[in-house]
Amino acid sequence: MHNIIVIGGGFAGLNATLNAADQARQHDGDITVTLVSNSEYITMRPRLYEVNPKTLREPLRPIFDAAAIPFKCAEAKSIDTAGQTVEVITPDGKAETLAYDRIVLTAGSRLRLPPVPGLSEFGWNIDDYAGAVAFDEHLKMVTNDAAAPGMDTFVILGGGITGIELALEMRTRIEAHGNTEAAKAARIILLDMASEIGPDVGANPRPIIAEALEQAGVECIMGHQAAMAAKDHLILDDGTRIETATVVVTTGMIANSLGAEIGGTLDEAGRLHVDDNLRVAGPSEIFAAGDMARAFVDDTHVALMSCQHAGTMGKYAGVNAARDLLGLDLRPYRQPNYVTCIDLGNYGAVLSQGWDRQVQSSGAETKARKRMINERLIYPPKPGPAEEIFAARRIDEYGR
């Protein structure tokens, strides 16, 4: 009996587990695939900027029970590559050691918090489920106490896609807590040290994004960064003081630190360098996918830390971990088609194609497509017959 352990129950981990088990099943392999996740749920992380984040997660165990795949809720603490074991801590604090023949590392990423005094104490985030729910509770409180200084001002640090989407959703979120007047009166600030909004979204969508922000009354402060955060104000690098009780950090991500433990080569985001088969450059028994892997999607471009790339990458990593044990040819990961669909709140959305981000559409019709992606496409398969679950997450005819 061989063991494959997948660490991390996000988009990459879900797909890696199902595809590894599917390969073992199709080829009658004597392989047990186990998912180890620190949560019983998969969080719809790309949606955490939206209203009501408490609803934005789905249970994992029913899916794996239906597919007869072992699921272990535990935190992976360390990996012994020489002994091929993983030490995990269960929710009740018990330490266990799991043996593996292959590992797929899909433990994701966390918020990269800028080294700004006071930000860790007084900043909020929508990076994970707990952070997003805590921020929503805070938002409910300040929305209904707008008379206090700074309660009506909301500063978002980071003008990338997440920051843009949150800024354009803020009035809707405030109104959802029952205060239409507060939503109209709110001062919403998007702050980024870059000279232009959306430094990573490309020049083509930028005018549409800028128009949406202007129509929504979002104030963009570019070329500056936070210097100090406090409970009721934020100081910028030029000395400007902003009275605010709400600073939300959306300044990018860094990969889970497990990658640094195994001796692989890391990039600036903490991601493990992998080959075309998603095998880590280092221990040959370890594959990586999602936010933990620096993988090329074609001959030029590296995958982004996004669910679009994580989900497909996870499929290939799971397939290859199993096929490696089965002595079968591996399947190189390639995902050349790239699209970006950014939610622009009441303005709609903007859809671009390719790495040069040529705009394909924008407005209300594009918003419907964004909703389809967010509310259907990224969701896990429903519990049901095992074959249907596996089929829903196999690599498709387009290589995705």
Beta bridge partners of 41: 59
From 176, 308, 113, 150, select the one nearest 231 (Cα to Cα): 150
285 and 244 within one domain: no
Q: Is residue 389 part of a domain?
A: no
Q: Is residue 168 part of a domain?
A: yes
The phi, psi pair for 197, rounded to 5°, reads: -65, 150
The phi, psi pair for 384, rounded to 5°, reads: 180, -155
Task: Choose the final residue of a domain: 309, 336, 363.
Answer: 336
243 and 130 within one domain: yes
Cβ(303)–Cβ(330) below 8 Å: no
105 and 165 within one domain: no
Q: Is residue 361 part of a domain?
A: no
Q: Is residue 375 part of a domain?
A: no
Q: Is residue 366 part of a domain?
A: no
332 and 272 within one domain: yes
From 247, 43, 55, select the one nearest 128 (Cα to Cα): 43
Q: What angle do CA 142, 144, 150 make, to 5 degrees?
A: 40
Tokens 């969701």 belong to residue = 379
The phi, psi pair for 319, rounded to 5°, reads: -60, -45
**Ramachandran sector of residue 199 (left: φ over 0; alpha: ψ -120 to 50; beta: rest):** alpha
From 379, 358, 322, select the one nearest 27 (Cα to Cα): 322
From 315, 276, 311, select the one nearest 291 (Cα to Cα): 311
Cβ(365)–Cβ(371) below 8 Å: no
Q: Residue 216: which CATH number? A: 3.50.50.60
Task: Choose the final residue of a domain: 216, 249, 282.
Answer: 249
Q: Is residue 350 part of a domain?
A: no
Instruction: Tell me which residue range forms the domain holding 162.
Output: 119-249
Q: Is residue 357 part of a domain?
A: no
The rounded distance, in Å, linking the Cα atoms of 120 and 294 is 28
The rounded distance, in Å, linking the Cα atoms of 1 and 34 is 13
Task: Choose the final residue of a domain: 336, 359, 378.
Answer: 336
**3-state SS assignment for residue 191:** strand
Number of domains the chain contains: 2
The pLDDT tens digits along the chain (400 residues) read 899 999 999 999 999 999 999 999 999 999 999 999 999 999 999 999 999 999 999 999 999 999 999 999 999 999 999 999 999 999 999 999 999 999 999 999 999 999 999 999 999 999 999 999 999 999 999 988 766 778 999 999 999 999 999 999 999 999 999 889 999 999 999 999 999 998 889 899 999 999 999 999 999 999 999 999 999 999 999 999 999 999 999 999 999 999 998 988 999 999 999 999 999 988 889 999 999 999 999 999 999 999 999 999 999 999 999 999 999 999 999 999 999 999 999 999 999 999 999 999 999 999 999 999 999 999 999 999 999 999 999 999 989 9
From 350, 339, 348, 344, select the one nearest 377 (Cα to Cα): 339
171 and 183 within one domain: yes
| Overall pTM > 0.85 | yes
212 and 265 within one domain: no
